[in-house]
Chains A and B, each alone.
Chain A
């Protein structure tokens, strides 16, 4: 098992390397002079030369690459062109809110969606199943910002249960964090509840038709035990896959929600960086997103063998 995990960790290195090469080339090979892009329209030739020098653009491509990789491995992601502060530091500040919201969203989604899916499968083709599936279609089709504004209207403006916008870290008090994080998390959760519930239902429907479920019933096992002990674990692999992918998507896809709820996370950082053509920040964002995807996939793969003993590597 340990050997397997080690192998999987080692296997992520080439993937990350390819991403790094891509990110490096993104800036160097885009048409036009990177320095000109970086400096903007109003730059003087002297300014351009200074930027070229600072970025090492006068060196051969390979030298540039190794310099850049060297910096990357030391955790140096460069300096933001906009704020002139370290990109690594900026990301560090912004990652906290995004991660916390993402974790809360995925927790809410799993807690709601898995029981929903299980019950829908158990009561296949009844009104319960129909209700869950209708909700699922709704969750898919209503845009995130609409749900966000509706939730704000009801819970923040009408009922005044929670603040409209803003973010407080959990370290500043869980209540303060929770009351501000709950609406954005619920907003984001709708689509994931829909997705996970659907996957759980489909996977459970298949498993509930298996012989060992009949065996469990034949030995007089209670129905909830049949569902959650016998069936759900067997149905787990596709559900885990969708949860893992969902979590990774969440972190890279929080742009709209962070704008609506005014949360200082990486989503807004990305938007700002793109609008300002802040290339070092954009590069760092791509690297970070790819890293999160690779890491979450690794986690999901390793967790399979925990749920299904037949999976051995």
Chain B
């Protein structure tokens, strides 16, 4: 794998952070959030700031923008110099003058980062109106030119579109156009591709690199994704709990990490090489799905409308103790399939057979008895647990509904806590008292409490940090081994799919394009779409856990099992 290796030691220092301390507002004695960090970013350099959630990387970037939420956080000491201008002591209006002109920022969620009620063209043009004396027609011309530079199609139409009418990738291009239109010295990108599909991510990363090349911008790139880091970084700074752990040029950091924490981070990056498939717990299939169709809308009152075909003719089977992964990008229909099988939505056609019962056409009432065979774990553990219920109540609700005596349900709940590696006394606490990873463990325990035949995991590890992700994947593995449960794992992340799936089904726009053993599909993809997905995965030629390149021979040997 080719890393960037340009030497920046003679380039101009654009941002210079010295001994920065940021703490809770009005509480100088409390543990600081940022504890004395130094950071130097030079012109033309891409500096990646990596770390897990809570490491302080986003706080650092907001401080550089002068955008810290004043009621919560304040700079306690140290300095942030943008060229020769001190940001920590700048006034409101000085800071405002600086933003967009000298220092600009793009954010993670292109959906929520754009104002939903203003046309995207106007939102870009607003930057010019605020910071320049251009006439309206000149400003519009410049805006259209910039939209062209970020490769938006049909710029005149998109200029007057609202954010919700654009795709995620297009919205992020709008954000980039907005950030770079005044040619700032420093661009801060806070997880700008995390919410995007892999293929879109690749395009956006290329675009940022292209714009950087053209304008000589320094980029501070915040991410948790080591794959992205491997692709774009010149220099990497690793942060943990408000402190800097290690800083090195990219090649050095990936081949020869000095600190234990860096090694932990790298080891946790899941490998793209599929693991060997495991034996099934039984030979007969526990889940059989055939010809599943799901069409949204349609019908219509006077005129019959077409509807959106979210899933067409999806068929697969899962044996007990095995995991089927459905992979695909947003809009591929993977979540639709999961919901149709859970009967959270009613499939338009096809059959779903779980544990010997055909459930696709059962009425809501008939379905109730079969619900315990199917359980689901959702993506966002912050929202899938009732915040006003204790963990015990969440764990016991299902079994009690199915006639288990309360005392027995409580006893079982306590056992489950042990199973998912949480203390028993946590049963009396509420979800907000746990971290994201712990909450996902609780959500898994809740699903397992029903002793299901099929466990559906809908992007269940996507919101977690890599190290936590690895632990949760281990837990799922462990549970599967112990109970022989069949698992349907919905994910957009091929690395995760490679780690946990025995079989993989690839979906594109509602249609299954490839289905087979994980080793086959991921190592020797037959369909172009699968190949594109794999090629778009950042850092796919690097074996992070072993600090070395991944040669293609290793890819295929891993796949033969």
Partner-B contacts on A (CB < 8 A): 124-125, 210-212, 214-223, 225, 229-230, 233-234, 307-310
Contacts and interface: CB of A to CB of B under 8 A. Distances in A.
Given A214-B67, A307-B117, A309-B117, A219 B112 contact: no
A218 B67 contact: yes
B114 A212 contact: yes
B386 interface: no
19 contacts: A210-B112, A211-B109, A211-B113, A215-B115, A218-B65, A218-B105, A218-B107, A219-B99, A219-B127, A220-B96, A220-B99, A220-B100, A221-B96, A221-B130, A222-B96, A225-B130, A230-B118, A233-B117, A309-B164
A307 B112 CA distance: 17
B97 interface: yes
B116 A218 contact: no
Interface in B125-145: 126-127, 130-131
B467 to A, nearest CB: 26
Nearest to A230: B115
Nearest to B71: A125
B104 A218 contact: yes
B162 interface: yes
A215 B130 CA distance: 14
A218 B192 CA distance: 15
A220 B114 contact: no
A221 B118 CA distance: 14
B127 A212 contact: no
Interface residues of B, number: 30
A124 B72 CA distance: 13
A225 B127 CA distance: 12
Nearest to B108: A211
B101 interface: yes
Contacts of B65: 218
B117 A234 contact: yes
Nearest to B96: A220
Contacts of A211: 107, 109, 112-113
B287 interface: no
Nearest to A229: B118
B367 to A, nearest CB: 33
Residue among A210, A215, A225 facing the most chain B CB atoms (10 A cut-off):
A215
Nearest to A124: B71
Contacts of A229: 118
Contacts of A223: 92
B50 interface: no
Contacts of B116: 212, 234, 308-310
A229 to B, nearest CB: 8
Contacts of B117: 233-234, 307-310
Given A221-B96, A229-B118, 6 more contacts: A219-B179, A223-B92, A225-B130, A234-B117, A309-B117, A309-B164
A303 to B, nearest CB: 13
B472 interface: no
Nearest to A234: B117
B498 interface: no
Contacts of B115: 212, 215-216, 230, 234
Contacts of A217: 67, 99
Residue among A125, A211, A212, A216 facing the most chain B CB atoms (10 A cut-off):
A212
A220 B130 contact: yes
B130 A222 contact: yes
A225 B117 CA distance: 14
A219 B104 CA distance: 7
Given A125-B71, A210-B112, A219 B126 contact: yes
A51 B359 CA distance: 69
Contacts of B113: 211-212, 214-215
Contacts of A216: 115
Interface string B356-377: 0000000000000000000000
B178 interface: yes
B114 to A, nearest CB: 6
Residue among A125, A220, A230, A309 facing the most chain B CB atoms (10 A cut-off):
A220
A219 B107 contact: no
B98 interface: yes
Contacts of A225: 126, 130
A221 to B, nearest CB: 6
